[in-house]
Amino acid sequence: MQKDLDPAQTEALLKNLVIPPRPSILQALDRARQPEEPDFELIGHLISSDLTLSAAVLKTINSPLFRRPNKIASVHHALQLLGLNNVCNIVEGLALTHVMPKHSERHPDPLWESANRIATISAYLSTSVHGITEDEAHTFGMFHNCGQALLAARFKNYRDTISRGERMARSEFIAFENSRHNTSHTVVGYLLARAWLLPEHMALAILNHHDYGIFDQPEDGEWQHACTLIALASLSEHIYKMFVKQFEHIEWRHIEPKLLRHLALELEEYEDMVDAVHDMLAQG
């Protein structure tokens, strides 16, 4: 497992890549959350003032995969029902899509379409896993592959790199990224997570999410939490790929048992969850 980057490597990368600064709305939300009794009215107004972001928040939390008994009609309503931290964590992940370079003005970027679906599926799966919240799982699902969007903006041939890497082993793909671009999406995603002040265990999970050997290594509680994020996102990515009829990853039969064992999920229980997710994805 990797717990940090070489400072010289980090400096070289930051000279050649543009890491989007943390949006001002997230900084404003940080300030508004500091008092012992935060002003929910002010926080709701801050989120609602960004119409695109607030619409994305409501669309996300009203998804069938979040299984809300009643539709949430406003950001203020969401804050009352879900709580401040839950809503703000969801905002953090969704804000990421608004600062990245646009793939096309007319068509959604498949990288973000996939990230949104994986994040929502992760939130759904997390309800059956001990010690992790829906909003945290959702945030990691949005961020875990964010380095790919940054590399796609920097290198014209990076989407070709992704396409070629689809049939490679995970470690082989990371090596292929490094050979072509002198870095990998896991490293770039880690740098963005640090710049955006994400929790350290989440940044480390982004850095290591293609190294499935970490599930065989005994570590402390914080690292186990990072492994849980990786396991949820990996299962969610597989479920989404199966839904859109993409081929199964060549290592999946080796990886899947490790993930289920870590999450203490029985295969039959997981398969029932897959069926439920596919049904809900079909509902839109």
240 and 113 in a single domain? The answer is: yes
Task: Tell me if residue 118 falls in helix, strand or coil.
Answer: helix
91 and 122 in a single domain? The answer is: no
67 and 170 in a single domain? The answer is: no
35 and 126 in a single domain? The answer is: no
Per-residue model confidence (pLDDT) at position 66: 81
Rounded to 5°, the CA angle 21-25-27 comes to 65
8 and 144 in a single domain? The answer is: yes
- What phi, psi does 246 have (nearest 5°)? -85, 160
177 and 49 in a single domain? The answer is: no
Mean pLDDT on 161-181: 94
Tell me the pLDDT band of 241, cut-offs 50, 70 and 90.
very high
Per-residue model confidence (pLDDT) at position 19: 87
Domain with residue 275: its CATH number is 1.10.3210.10
- Which of left, alpha, beta for 20 (phi over 0: left; psi -120 to 50: alpha)? beta
Single residue among 64, 99, 134 that ends a domain in this structure: 99
173 and 68 in a single domain? The answer is: no
CB 140 within 8 A of CB 237: no
Number of domains in the chain: 2
- Which domain range does residue 72 map to? 22-99
Single residue among 99, 130, 148 that ends a domain in this structure: 99
Mean pLDDT on 163-173: 92
Single residue among 99, 120, 144 that ends a domain in this structure: 99
Tell me the pLDDT band of 106, cut-offs 50, 70 and 90.
low
Per-residue model confidence (pLDDT) at position 108: 58
180 and 265 in a single domain? The answer is: yes
Per-residue model confidence (pLDDT) at position 15: 77
Count other C-beta atoms under 10 Å from residue 200's C-beta: 13
Q: What is the 3-state secondary structure (H, E, C) of 123-183?
A: HHHHCCCCCCCHHHHHHHHHHCCHHHHHHHHHCCCHHHHHHHHCCCCHHHHHHHHHHHHCC
CA quadruple 69, 75, 76, 80: dihedral, nearest 10 = 40
- Alpha carbon distance 143, 179 (integer Å): 23
14 and 38 in a single domain? The answer is: no
Range of lowest pLDDT (102-111, 179-188, 221-230, 234-243):
102-111
Per-residue model confidence (pLDDT) at position 210: 94
Mean pLDDT on 200-216: 92
41 and 123 in a single domain? The answer is: no
60 and 162 in a single domain? The answer is: no
CA max distance for the chain:
52
Per-residue model confidence (pLDDT) at position 91: 92
Mean pLDDT on 154-180: 94
The candidate with the shortest Cα–Cα distance to 104, out of 142, 153, 154, 54, is 153
CB 68 within 8 A of CB 61: yes
57 and 114 in a single domain? The answer is: no
